[in-house]
Chains A and B, each alone.
Chain A
Amino acid sequence: MRSADGVVAVSLQRTCNGIFVQRALQRRGAARVVQTSRFTNASEFRKWCEADASRFDYPLLSARLVRHADELFSDCDATPDAG
């Protein structure tokens, strides 16, 4: 998932230990910043999204991310041993 201008790109991956998230930020003239982390539940992921200042610039991307993460966490709950 990425913003229309390509500045922010986020990928979500379900693993056996939760949701693995990789977020890349590349603003023009600035360093590329890639952060990778893991979330074990949906509320922690929402908290992280709310802390992301770029959600004001990219509200649609932020909303899609939360929805997608909710789906992945639901799948995890349904199949806890999924890898």
Chain B
Amino acid sequence: MPTSYSAIATPRLTLAELAGAPDFAGRVAAVAARLAGAEDEAQALHVLEAAADTMGLDAAAFVSFVHDDASHESFRFLLACDPVWCFEYERRAWYATDPWLAYALTYSEPARGHEIRAESEQQRAVMELSEQYGFRSSLIVPAPSSGKLTRLGVLCLGSATPGFFDDDGYLPLKLVARGLAMELHGWWIERIKREVIMQARLTEEDLTLLAHERRGLGTKLMANALNVSPQSINSRFQRMNARLGVPNRKAAARLAAEYGLI
């Protein structure tokens, strides 16, 4: 565990005391605003660490999840907590049964760990594992996407203090945590978007074609709109599909939407 996340022996402030301090929300918001200038994951992680520190937490993690299809499913973790936790989680392949993730896939309202019920032994095991790694008390903050997209962010906040999130400080914390979760989600999507465009070498015209496909336009209409032949449209899609690693243009358009390209 990085030393900054080790157990703190000094007397702890309660959440009500932390959140009741002057300009608590303003200070957390000021930290979150630094994400706009974060150029890479290192800087984004630094912002998450600083936000967790400002909120008086022992651990924080942000997970960005895209599961449009098996070939492009991805989990991206920013870990302001003991990173060994992620190995244990990964080793047991618990993504499919993670109760926090399952909650975030269904609800947009933040919830404390004890408000999320484990439905199986495996889900209980996931929760017990998180308790061992700094999330004795937890707050799960979903960052959903609009437009029926599968991409999702989940901010997990943790404290080694039992019942930390259960006092009068919960409401103000919930408000700022939601803002932080949405900012982190937006940052990741922007980052992934740039990554996909670069790796698949997509041009502006490619993105226009993908947007047309997403809207359901046929080849002839696309050809007319771009003033090229239908054969040209088909061959462009074939090349694009190969670069994106998808079987057809419909999948390409869905992937483009999931990653915020269109």
The reply on B42 being an interface residue by CB < 8 A is yes
Determine how close the nearest CB of chain B comes to the CB of A7; give it in whole angstroms.
13
Query: Which residue from chain B places its CB closest to the CB of A13 in the assembled complex?
Result: B42
A42-78: which residues lie under 8 A (CB-CB) from chain B? 44, 47-48, 51-53
How many B residues are at the interface, by size bracket? 20 to 34
The reply on A79 being an interface residue by CB < 8 A is no
Main secondary structure, interface of B, reads: helix
Given A20-B41, A20-B42, A40-B4, also A32-B84 (CB < 8 A) = no
The reply on A25 being an interface residue by CB < 8 A is yes
Q: Cβ of A48: which chain B residues have Cβ within 8 Å of it? A: 83-84, 87
Given A35-B77, A41-B3, also A53-B84 (CB < 8 A) = no
The reply on B49 being an interface residue by CB < 8 A is yes
Q: A47 to B87, Cβ gap below 8 A? A: no
**Distance in angstroms between the alpha carbons of A31 and B75 in the assembled complex:** 7
Q: Cβ of B49: which chain A residues have Cβ within 8 Å of it? A: 38
Query: Which residue from chain A places its CB closest to the CB of B4 in the assembled complex?
Result: A40
Number of residues on chain A facing chain B (CB within 8 A)? 27
Q: B84 to A51, Cβ gap below 8 A? A: yes
Partner of A32, one of B1, B41, B75: B75
**Distance in angstroms between the alpha carbons of A21 and B76 in the assembled complex:** 13
Q: Cβ of A22: which chain B residues have Cβ within 8 Å of it? A: 41
The reply on B91 being an interface residue by CB < 8 A is yes
Q: Cβ of A32: which chain B residues have Cβ within 8 Å of it? A: 72-75
The reply on B18 being an interface residue by CB < 8 A is no
- Chain A residues close to B by CB (< 8 Å): 13, 15, 17-18, 20-22, 25, 29-41, 44, 47-48, 51-53
- Chain B residues close to A by CB (< 8 Å): 1-4, 41-42, 45-46, 49, 67, 70, 72-80, 83-84, 86-88, 90-91, 93, 95
